[in-house]
Amino acid sequence: MAIEYKKSLAVFDDFVGVEDAEALLEWFQKNPKGKVNFTTCTHIHASNLQVLMAVKPPVVAWSKDEDLQLWLEPLLR
C-alpha cells in the first residue's frame, strides 16, 4: 500500500498509483480534517492529484523530491 492511513494522517510513500485514488477519496470523506504527509513520496498518479486538489488538505510535510514539491506546493497551499 503506497498510502498509509493513520488516525487523521495519510502518509504517502514512494509511488502512489491510480488504484489508491478511490480509497483516498473515501478516506477524506470519512476524515474531512485529514492531513497529508509527502515526505517519502516520489510521485502520485494524476487521479490522486485531483483528489488532493479537490480536498486541499493541510500538508504536514512536503516531499523530499524537489520537483514533486514544486508541483504540489502551489496547488495545495
Partner 1 sequence: MNSLLEQFLSEARDFLQGIGEKLMQLESDPTSTPLMAELFRFVHTLKGNSGLFDFPEMTCVLHASEDLMDAVRNGRVNYSQTLADQLLEAMDFVGSLMDEIEITGKTGSNHFATSTELTKALRALLNAHNAVYVPVAIETYTEDGLAVKAISWSELPELDLPETVAMGLYRCSIDGETVFWLEYTPEPECFFKGEDPFFLARQIPDTAWRHVILNNTSSTLAEMDVFSSQLVFQLLTIAPAVELDDLFRYVPDQIHRVKIPALAFVKPNGRKDSQAIDDDFINNVLALLDKDEIETLIRTINTMLELSSPELWSSSVLRWALQLVDVEPENKSAQRTLLNTLRAQTPPDWSSSIMEMNEPRDMVTVMPSVSVNLSELSDTLLRDFNVVINTQREILSLGGTWSAGRLKSIAATLLGCYRAVQKLHEVESIESALQLALTKNSPEPLLDWLNNSSASTQELVFTAEEAPIIVSNLATQNEVKFGRRTEDAVITGAVAASKMLKVDQDKIDRLMNLIGEMVVAKNALPYLANRAETVFGVRDLAREIKAQYAVINRVAEEMQDTIMQVRMMPVSFIFQRFPRMVRDISRKLGKEVELVLEGEATEADKNIIEALSDPLIHIVRNSLDHGLEMPDVRLAVGKSVTGKLLIRASQESDRVLIEIIDDGKGIDPEIIKHKAYEKGLIDETTLERISDQDAVNLVFAAGFSTADVISDLSGRGVGMDVVRSAVEKVNGTVGIESEVGKGTRLYLSLPLSMAVTNVMIIQSNQQIFGVPMDIVVETVRVPHSHIQRIKQKQTTVLRGRIVPLLSLNDLLASNVEQLPNEDNEFATLILRVHGEHVGILVDEFRETVDIILKPMTGILGGLAGYSGAALLGDGSVLMVLNPRELI
For 13, the grid coordinates are 510513500
For 30, the grid coordinates are 470519512
Cβ(16)–Cβ(43) under 8 Å?
yes
Residues 10-69 that bind partner 1 (CB under 8 A): 18, 21-22, 24-25, 28-29, 43-47, 49-51, 53-55, 67-68
Helix (H/G/I), strand (E/B), else coil: 16: strand
Beta carbon of residue 25, minimum distance to partner 1 (angstroms, whole number): 5
Instruction: Give residues in contact with partner 1 (CB under 8 A).
Output: 18, 21-22, 24-25, 28-29, 43-47, 49-51, 53-55, 67-68, 70-71, 74-75
